[in-house]
Structure 1
Amino acid sequence: MSAIDTERALLAPERMTQIVDYTLTHFEQKTKRSSSYEHSVVTNVHESTRARRQAEATRERKRVRGFNAIFATASIEAATRYYFAFHEAQRHLPEAQRLKIGMIYSYGANEAVDGTTLDDEAFDTDRLSSDARTQLEIAIADYNEMFGTSYDTSADKFGNYYKDLSQRLKNRELDMVIVVNMFLTGFDATTLNTLWVDKNLRAHGLIQAYSRTNRILNSVKTYGNIVAFRDLEEETNKALELFGNKDARGIVLLKPYGDYYADYAEKVTELLDRFPLGQQIIGEAAQKDFIALFGAILRLTNILTSFDDFAGNEILTDRQAQDFRSVYLDLYAEFRDKDKADKEAINDDIVFEIELIKQVEINVDYILMLVEKYRAAHGDGDDKELRAEISRAVDASPSLRNKRDLIEDFVERVTVDGSIDDEWQTFIAARREAELEAIIADENLRADRTREFIDTAFRDGAIRTSGTAITRVLPPASRFSADGGHGEKKQRVIEKLGTYFERFFGLSSNGGN
């Protein structure tokens, strides 16, 4: 049977449906959508792409959730079939829950099926078959609707479509791009962590494709995922052996699942034996041992969550994991305070995996759900346990700990039958205004400009400490010239507004979510 006939057989609808269903079911797991991190994004993608001379990209840091993926197919026909299969599989979902999927290909070696080499990207769409070009036009029209652009397959617009799609993939604005060979050579994006493969790959072509996922970003993305729907194990081993000294540098395969799980089980057993919950960890040496041990468990769990077999085989219960995270964060705060108090204290031997803690971050919606349950159970005997559950959840969250008093005050004030969400928004709006007013009064700031500065921070997701905006909130220099000087005043205001921003960011739908 020829390679072309084999490829056609692999396009059986039943097989493709199973692959699409598996991909959608496991997409959040593989791309770690429960994690969030700060990432530099280009905010003027369309403008900088369409200009005759590419405009200087405007960048800012934003918090994004999880990573994205490439889905590599063996032919243009396979790419288009998968594109429409994913579209159909998500048709019944609300728009906000659908993956944002793009597709791109061009004429030429994209049609090759052996995967030995992957040709450099070309932008020749004129020689595409009528059907292939029509299908690509449909995908580009979907893309235009998503992002308000106006690309097509014409010679003068297709190249800009490629640039725009490439940047939005790097921005984490797209969830997945379906390709044949495009993006499998030379494309680098730190946000890309998963390659779904339904094509034969060999030798240098395999190394090139696998390398798309190996750009390390942070402690959450320490490796890339390759999910192969074909048996590529032998070809992978051959390619690594052949190119291991040069071209495959940076590609190291993970050990088998069982190896990581055995290490995880051993360390969790040690954790439960040496540091039982409810017992204080006495002495700095023991504290450092706990920090190192729990950090190792966090790193192992981060790897294991990418394996399908791990689901349902976690040893720690949700409550145990939450309580250990709380102890870990207590020690993080304690050691950080020690370093601030004694500038000569250097704890280079202590590494806190805070980004990994944030993978299971508790959000405000979850807390409000617990408050709703607490209110319903009030007076029935279950309310004390629910109140304790709220406290545990807050203690286990790096981002909610500095909001503990707000949450506890809200629980005390919640009414018997009002809307929990509406009451929360009203409560937070009042506290935001009162605390900002106090900072304005204490530092004698310009009220209107301070509120404008803070509104911009909530809109952009970050406090801007450079530029003239922060200077404009300060009072005239003559008013505080005897108060430590302009530099000290400015730094103190930045710290206060920064603490205020961190305290309220993410709590209110009015510029904080």
Structure 2
Amino acid sequence: MRPYQIAATERILNRIEISTNYKKTGTVEAGGYIWHTTGSGKTLTSFKTAQLAASLPYIDKVLFVVDRKDLDYQTMKEYDRFEKGAANSNTSTKILQKQLEDPNAKIIITTIQKLDVFISKNKTHDVYKQHIVLIFDECHRSQFGKMHRKIVKAFKNYHIFGFTGTPIFAVNAGSGGDPLLRTTPQAFGDKLHTYTIIDAINDGNVLPFRIDYVNTVKEKDNINDSKVRAIDIEKAMSAPERIREVTSYILDHFDQKTKRNSFYSLKGQRVAGFNSIFAVASIPMAMKYYTEFKRQLAERKRNLTVATIFSFSTNEDDPEDALPDEGFETDKLDKTSRDFLEAAIADYNQTFNVNFDTSAEKFQNYYKDLSLRMKNREVDLLIVVNMFLTGFDATTLNTLWVDKNLKQHGLLQAFSRTNRILNSVKTFGNIICFRDLKQATDEAIALFGDKEAGGIVLLKTYNDYYNGYDEDGKHKPGYAELIATLQSQYPLGKAIIGEDAQKDFIRLFGAILRLKNILTAFDDFAGNEILSERNFQDYQSIYIDLYQDFTKGKNADKENINDDIVFEIELIKQIEVNIDYILMLVAKYHESNCTDKSILVAIDKAVSSSIELRSKKELIAKFIEQVNTSTQVDDDWRIFVAEQKEKDLSAIIEAEKLKPEETRKFVAGSFRDGTMKTTGTDIDKILPPVSRFSGGGRAAKKQSVIEKLMAFFEKYLGLV
């Protein structure tokens, strides 16, 4: 655990000990709340707290209470990841009751809804007299109100603690509900520990945000009445032409914002880019947008997986609650909305070959399945009203499109879906607002950070990154300055002599790659790259040459070669040239009757600038050699690759005397999973019989096989 997590845990345990010794249990003096910013390990902190509290001899049980939107199964999965079997979850109030009556069930994860039902059905129960610790997750939400009051009234000997990334203070509390339970301090007591978004960004535990404001509505002149203006704006917001315009903008910029030209490994699979959530103002707008996305995708003949989810919310239109609580009450939806949701789920069923609908249990399972597929980046765009905007974590999610009025804690919660750390390609959470949320954003950041927090929480402007800026008395060079330095100090065609000069080039080009990674998310950058694509590829080729020289004989997976050299290999890979682009160039060469040699130069430069394609360079060159006027490029390439793959694999099997059937099965599994596992027993099964007592012969044989199979795998990965 990190220091701030340990500090939070210790303060809760100290409060339990002190209040127990002084017998202050039964009041909020026995508790407190932890301000632990979203995405910085709140679940791990709560798990360790629950575990240590449960080990205290005078504590009978620890109840970890989540809201239905988070679902206890998600928390249970996280707890199991920390320590299998450490906690107990439940799928019904009946199971919850059994766990409360079981002395061996020390840590229980439950929803506040199930706990509320249990208390309503059991006015008197022995568990109320036991010494209980109640830990509330996301305590800025529906725990305020009747359910909260009922729970703390039922238990007679308890400590109560809340975790939240965005506390409710008087300034951001709504006017509805119980006036004595509107704020976090009112409901949970003293603030025990603070770890804000500023702390988390400074510590590198979450990412900052980058915000675009895309104006889609021009307000009419001479409207003085605020209510009339609000009605007029909302009517304009849902106008069909605006829905079309916003949808078109998202589709036009989708690849740019989600970095679909970037590649990374996710659970052994090679994945392109990130995914996104689109937050809209109401169920009718969600329906309109879903329909328009389907229409425009079909019109563009484009393949993006779009899904939607929503349910009944009692206070959806409450302007004081930025993110109203939204449960799973699909039966309360009006017929039009429910029928539409049913049809959207049917689309989802067809896409993923599953079977969900809007009935109570199947809708909850749809939520679970959708949550998992979002985390696995199988869904490209999820349209929501309130669901998934709090309590949902997915490292693959980098973009939030917003056509919804957000403010204060709701705004920061929604934005924070995008800022989980994944890799060096994902350097910020991308927020694209189709409403003017600038003032609301500034106010939210000031409330949950401080008045100077904007400089840390939000990325700088396009102009700053492009032209440079001054900070803390130092000048930070921009992209244009770095490119000018690159061209003057390292002109193309001139060798870089000496290790010091090479290291300086590596640092300079790495800084350019990092800035370009940020700038590509700005619409203004298109057309202002300065370097032509071909020249950039040439510089990238030099960078990769140096990487391979510096890593020769070392662990090539490590980017930190020594203390003063770091290679930005993830950023190189994210602007990879793929084989489809190369085949397109081959087709152009074919169309020129194989006479345009400049295309061959372009192919060579593109392949040389790609780490992925360098291992395929010989294969590509061999294919181009046999291209003639009768070649069908795509079809003949597939046939060529299949023949060469079989030829190369057979040669390895024969040379190393491997077991043919086991080897082919092992290789097929590796291509299926996107990774070749060289540890474990699978690799041993393909080796020929070698005496285990033959000294280092078996180890040497195994290493030789691994090296040959890895080279084979790299050569054909992405082609089969």
TM range (shorter): 0.7 to 0.9
After superposition, what is the alpha-carbon deviation per residue over 1:388-424, rounded to whole angstroms, capped at 9, x for unaligned? 2221111001111122222222222323322223332
Distance change in 2, residues 1:124/1:396 (3 Å): same
1:73 equivalent in structure 2: 280
Question: Is 2:415 the partner of 1:210?
Answer: yes
Among 493, 504, 507, which residue is 1:292 paired with? 507
Structure 1: how far apart are the matches of 2:548 and 2:431?
Answer: 37
Question: Is 2:264 the partner of 1:37?
Answer: yes
1:465 equivalent in structure 2: 678
Contact 2:576 2:610 in 1 (8 A): yes
Distance change in 2, residues 1:210/1:298 (3 Å): same
1:351 equivalent in structure 2: 566
Q: Cα distance, 1:368 vs. partner?
A: 2.3
Among 293, 298, 301, which residue is 1:86 paired with? 293
Question: Is 2:388 the partner of 1:195?
Answer: no
Among 666, 669, 672, which residue is 1:456 paired with? 669
2:584 equivalent in structure 1: 369
After superposition, what is the alpha-carbon deviation per residue over 1:281-324, rounded to whole angstroms, capped at 9, x for unaligned? 11111111111111111111111111111111111111111111
Distance change in 2, residues 1:272/1:474 (3 Å): same
Question: Is 2:637 the partner of 1:424?
Answer: yes
Structure 2: how far apart are the matches of 1:167 and 1:249?
Answer: 33
Structure 1: how far apart are the matches of 2:631 and 2:668?
Answer: 28
What secondary structure sits across from 1:453 in the alignment? helix
Q: Cα distance, 1:201 vs. partner?
A: 0.8
Listed as ranges, the gaps of 5+ residues in structure 2 are 1-225, 468-477
Per mean C-alpha deviation after superposition, the further-off stretch among 83-92 and 64-73 is 83-92
Q: CA RMSD in A?
A: 2.4
Contact 1:213 1:225 in 2 (8 A): yes
Structure 1: how far apart are the matches of 2:706 and 2:614?
Answer: 21
Structure 2: how far apart are the matches of 1:257 and 1:249?
Answer: 16
Listed as ranges, the gaps of 5+ residues in structure 1 are 41-60
Structure 2: how far apart are the matches of 1:92 and 1:305?
Answer: 27
More helix by share: 1
Q: Which amino acid aligns with 2:630?
A: D
Q: Which amino acid aligns with 2:291?
A: F
Q: Cα distance, 1:81 vs. partner?
A: 1.4
What secondary structure sits across from 1:64 in the alignment? strand
Contact 1:197 1:230 in 2 (8 A): yes
What secondary structure sits across from 1:193 in the alignment? strand
Contact 1:214 1:250 in 2 (8 A): no
1:231 equivalent in structure 2: 436
After superposition, what is the alpha-carbon deviation per residue over 1:144-183, rounded to whole angstroms, capped at 9, x for unaligned? 1111111111111110000011111111111111111100
Among 360, 378, 393, which residue is 2:575 paired with? 360
Q: Cα distance, 1:67 vs. partner?
A: 0.7
Structure 1: how far apart are the matches of 2:296 and 2:634?
Answer: 33
Q: Which amino acid aligns with 2:255?
A: E
Contact 1:151 1:158 in 2 (8 A): yes
Contact 1:446 1:473 in 2 (8 A): yes
Contact 2:375 2:394 in 1 (8 A): yes
1:63 equivalent in structure 2: 270
What secondary structure sits across from 2:615 in the alignment? helix
Per mean C-alpha deviation after superposition, the further-off stretch among 365-374 and 26-35 is 365-374
Structure 2: how far apart are the matches of 1:9 and 1:390?
Answer: 50
Distance change in 2, residues 1:185/1:499 (3 Å): same
Matches within 5 A, 1:325-340: 325-337=540-552, 339=554
Structure 1: how far apart are the matches of 2:326 and 2:707?
Answer: 48
1:101 equivalent in structure 2: 306
After superposition, what is the alpha-carbon deviation per residue over 1:470-504, rounded to whole angstroms, capped at 9, x for unaligned? 222111233x8537243443333223212211111
Distance change in 2, residues 1:236/1:116 (3 Å): farther
Matches within 5 A, 1:78-477: 78-94=285-301, 97-108=302-313, 111-112=316-317, 114=319, 116-244=321-449, 252-262=457-467, 263-337=478-552, 339=554, 347-377=562-592, 380=595, 382-383=596-597, 385-477=598-690
Structure 2: how far apart are the matches of 1:208 and 1:218?
Answer: 22
What secondary structure sits across from 2:512 in the alignment? helix
After superposition, what is the alpha-carbon deviation per residue over 1:350-409, rounded to whole angstroms, capped at 9, x for unaligned? 1111221123211222222323333444674x32x2222221111001111122222222
Structure 2: how far apart are the matches of 1:502 and 1:130?
Answer: 54
Q: Cα distance, 1:437 vs. partner?
A: 2.2
Contact 2:375 2:396 in 1 (8 A): yes
Structure 1: how far apart are the matches of 2:459 and 2:343?
Answer: 39
Among 238, 248, 251, which residue is 1:24 paired with? 251
1:486 equivalent in structure 2: 698
Structure 2: how far apart are the matches of 1:482 and 1:23?
Answer: 63
Distance change in 2, residues 1:74/1:376 (3 Å): closer
Q: Cα distance, 1:438 vs. partner?
A: 2.4
Contact 2:278 2:401 in 1 (8 A): yes
1:49 equivalent in structure 2: none
Distance change in 2, residues 1:179/1:340 (3 Å): closer
Contact 1:7 1:74 in 2 (8 A): no
Contact 1:39 1:63 in 2 (8 A): yes
Contact 2:399 2:429 in 1 (8 A): yes
Per mean C-alpha deviation after superposition, the further-off stretch among 22-31 and 453-462 is 453-462
TM-score, structure 1 as length reference: 0.88
Q: Which amino acid aligns with 1:90?
A: L
Contact 1:120 1:185 in 2 (8 A): no
Distance change in 2, residues 1:422/1:85 (3 Å): closer
Structure 2: how far apart are the matches of 1:328 and 1:500?
Answer: 24
Distance change in 2, residues 1:423/1:328 (3 Å): same
Q: Cα distance, 1:132 vs. partner?
A: 1.7
Structure 2: how far apart are the matches of 1:238 and 1:299?
Answer: 30
Structure 1: how far apart are the matches of 2:232 and 2:392?
Answer: 30
Quick check: which has more Rg, 1 or 2?
A: 2
Structure 1: how far apart are the matches of 2:455 and 2:349?
Answer: 36
Q: What is the percent sequence identity of the aligned residues? A: 56
What secondary structure sits across from 2:330 in the alignment? coil
Structure 2: how far apart are the matches of 1:449 and 1:459?
Answer: 15
Q: Cα distance, 1:125 vs. partner?
A: 1.4
Q: Which amino acid aligns with 1:13?
A: P
Q: Cα distance, 1:256 vs. partner?
A: 0.9
Structure 1: how far apart are the matches of 2:649 and 2:705?
Answer: 12
Kindly tell me the number of residue pairs found equivalent between the two proteins.
480
Question: Is 2:707 the partner of 1:495?
Answer: yes
Contact 1:214 1:251 in 2 (8 A): no
What secondary structure sits across from 2:426 in the alignment? coil
Per mean C-alpha deviation after superposition, the further-off stretch among 386-395 and 345-354 is 345-354
TM-score, structure 2 as length reference: 0.63
Structure 2: how far apart are the matches of 1:63 and 1:110?
Answer: 42
What secondary structure sits across from 2:416 in the alignment? helix
Q: Cα distance, 1:468 vs. partner?
A: 3.3
What secondary structure sits across from 2:402 in the alignment? strand
Q: Which amino acid aligns with 2:441?
A: T
Among 5, 9, 13, which residue is 2:240 paired with? 13
Structure 1: how far apart are the matches of 2:297 and 2:636?
Answer: 35
